[in-house]
Amino acid sequence: MYKKYIWLIILVLFGCKNNKKVAPTILEDSLNSPYKIAYAKGFTVEHFKGYKLVTIPQAWQGSKEKFTYALVKKGAKIPVLGDAVQIIRIPIKSIVCTSTSHLPLLEYLGELDKLVGFPHTKYISSPAVSTRLAKGKIKELGTESGLNIEMLMALSPEVVMDFGYGNEYDKYKSIQKVGIPVIMNADYMEETPLGRAEWIKFAGLFFGKEKEADSIFNMIKNKYNSLKKIAANSDTKPTVYSGTMYGDVWYMPGGKNSGAIFVNDAGGEYLWKEDSVTGSLQLGFESVYDHARQADFWIGMGSFNSLEEIENTDERYTSFDAFKNENVYNYNAVMGKNGGNAFLELGYLRPDYVLADMIKILHPALLPAHKLYFYKKLN
């Protein structure tokens, strides 16, 4: 809260110098687009005279750096806000994104034509983006080791939308050094599916499409909540486990992971729901086996495409009841031609699709007309 007051003081200090006739526009602005962020915890929006202030308090786990952007309309006067605040002129006309989860945001806002470059394009699954890529409208900006800075400079987009983990792989600093503003997108830090989907409002701000973003999110939210209500009517609560072994370790989504939330909202019982981890638990095989061998469903296990593949990798997977009863589902039904997974792209923006899939898997009778979208049953 106190941060708001600080900005109020800044507003008073700087705002008073300007002529006061502009003052009603603030009021009008904030009345007309009360950009309420209901679910997402990763960014805040504040409205000021002539600009909006967007803050990402934590772009990654344990980040001490705060990212603050002042969104100023092109042609409008740039406010004096100090070095800590990056000025972004909106609406932006060209952008480079670095994560596939950014792409559906542009697509849904109808701003895909502003996307001029993307690194490691083979992970893209969206047909619309792939088409533009094939036509040469989107430039490949280097492969695995990340963004090629020289190619980026040659392309000189107005902004880059990036993400960070706070480690040596982060590129945003070197991009900033060459004078291109970097918008940090911390959507992956959101703990709830709707919170993550609400980042469409974040993207909407930069394209001047708050209203569109708002209505897209409301549509998704309403669908999600009505699906949740349908699932609440189920009489049974099938048990679910997830994840797979890498080396000696079974990576099990934690009890506060979005995977666990989906299972719960779909009227299932996630077996590690008591746990408070948002990321993954690292478990030994036997503790998973002991807890989940009689579970009804095994949902989400990396990139497996068939039961045979699972059995070939480690025959011990077959001693689970879910495997024996062939109640095994994975989220790789929609794949791009180069191996990009739509679940890891569009799935973040459409939690309603994911929830519908989950309900269809756990309680097929509740959604007789629904066809699985992201998920498929392994045979």
Partner 1 sequence: MSEVFQIKQSKTILWIILPLLLLVLFLTNISLGSVNIPLNDIIDILIGKTVEKDAWANIILQFRLPKAMTAILVGAGLSVSGLLMQTLFRNPLAGPFVLGITSGASLGVALLVLATASFGGILTFIGTSGNWLMVLAASFGAGLVLMLVLVAATRVKNSMTLLIIGLMFGSATGAIVSILQFFSSKEQIQSYLIWTFGSVGGLTWREINIFLPIILLGLVAAFLLKKPLNALLLGEEYAKSMGVKIKSVRFMVIVVTSILAGTITAFCGPIAFIGITVPHLCRMIFNTSNHKTLIIASVLMGSIIMLFCDIIAQLPGSQFVLPINAVTSLLGAPIVVWIILRKKNITT
Q: Which of 47, 89, 114, 120 binds partner 1 (CB under 8 A)?
A: 120
Q: Which of 50, 164 has the CB closer to partner 1?
A: 164
User: What is the C-alpha separation between 330 and 299, in angstroms, rounded?
Assistant: 6
Interface of this chain with partner 1, residues 303 to 322, rule: CB under 8 A: 303-305, 309-310, 312-316, 319
Q: Would you tell me how many other CB atoms lie within 10 Å of the CB of residue 284?
A: 12
Paired residues of 55 in beta bridges? 44, 68
Report which secondary-structure segment, H or E, holds 168: none
Among the listed ranges 182-190, 191-199, 285-293, 369-377, the one in contact with partner 1 (CB under 8 A) is: 285-293
Q: Which of 170, 190 has the CB closer to partner 1?
A: 170
To 5 degrees, how large is the angle CA 316–CA 361–CA 345? 90
Among the listed ranges 18-26, 37-45, 70-78, 289-297, the one in contact with partner 1 (CB under 8 A) is: 289-297
Q: Which of 215, 306 has the CB closer to partner 1?
A: 306
User: What is the C-alpha separation between 11 and 151, in angstroms, rounded?
Assistant: 39
CB of 374 to partner 1, least distance (A): 16
Q: Which of 27, 338, 364, 377 binds partner 1 (CB under 8 A)?
A: 338
User: What is the C-alpha separation between 369 and 230, in angstroms, rounded?
Assistant: 14
Q: Which of 127, 339 has the CB closer to partner 1?
A: 339
Percent of the chain that is helix, strand, coil (3-state, to 5): 40, 20, 40
Q: Which of 32, 325 has the CB closer to partner 1?
A: 325
Among the listed ranges 32-40, 82-90, 278-286, 353-361, the one in contact with partner 1 (CB under 8 A) is: 278-286
Nearest to 169 by CA among 121, 119, 244: 119
Q: Which of 24, 339 has the CB closer to partner 1?
A: 339
User: What is the C-alpha separation between 220 and 232, in angstroms, rounded?
Assistant: 18
CB of 320 to partner 1, least distance (A): 10
Q: Where are the beta strands (DSSP E) in the chain?
A: 44-48, 51-56, 67-73, 85-90, 95-97, 115-118, 139-140, 159-162, 182-184, 239-241, 244-246, 249-253, 269-270, 280-283, 297-299, 328-330, 376-377
Q: Which of 206, 272 has the CB closer to partner 1?
A: 272
Determine the 3-state secondary structure of 203 from DSSP.
helix
CB of 125 to partner 1, least distance (A): 11
User: What is the C-alpha separation between 40 and 2, in angstroms, rounded?
Assistant: 20
- How does 145-154 read in b/e, with b if 16+ C-beta sit within 10 Å? ebbbbeebee
Q: Which of 293, 376 has the CB closer to partner 1?
A: 293
| 246 sits near partner 1 (criterion: CB under 8 A) | yes
| 127 sits near partner 1 (criterion: CB under 8 A) | no
CB of 181 to partner 1, least distance (A): 25
User: What is the C-alpha separation between 317 and 323, in angstroms, rounded?
Assistant: 7
Q: Which of 73, 287, 325, 364 binds partner 1 (CB under 8 A)?
A: 287
| 130 sits near partner 1 (criterion: CB under 8 A) | no
Number of residues near partner 1 (by CB under 8 A): 36
Q: What does the per-residue mask of binding to partner 1 show for 136-175, with x meaning CB under 8 A?
A: -------xxx-----------------------x------
Q: Length of the chain in residues, anyone?
A: 379
Dump the DSSP string for 216-261: HHHHHHHHHHHHHHHHHT-S---EEE--EEETTEEEEE-TTSHHHH
| 289 sits near partner 1 (criterion: CB under 8 A) | yes
Interface of this chain with partner 1, residues 44 to 83, rule: CB under 8 A: none
CB of 338 to partner 1, least distance (A): 6
> 29 is written with which tokens?
């602005």
Q: Which of 227, 292 has the CB closer to partner 1?
A: 292
Interface of this chain with partner 1, residues 171 to 230, rule: CB under 8 A: none
Name the site residues for partner 1 (rule: CB under 8 A): 120, 122, 143-145, 169, 245-249, 281-287, 289-290, 293, 302-305, 309-310, 312-316, 319, 338-339, 341
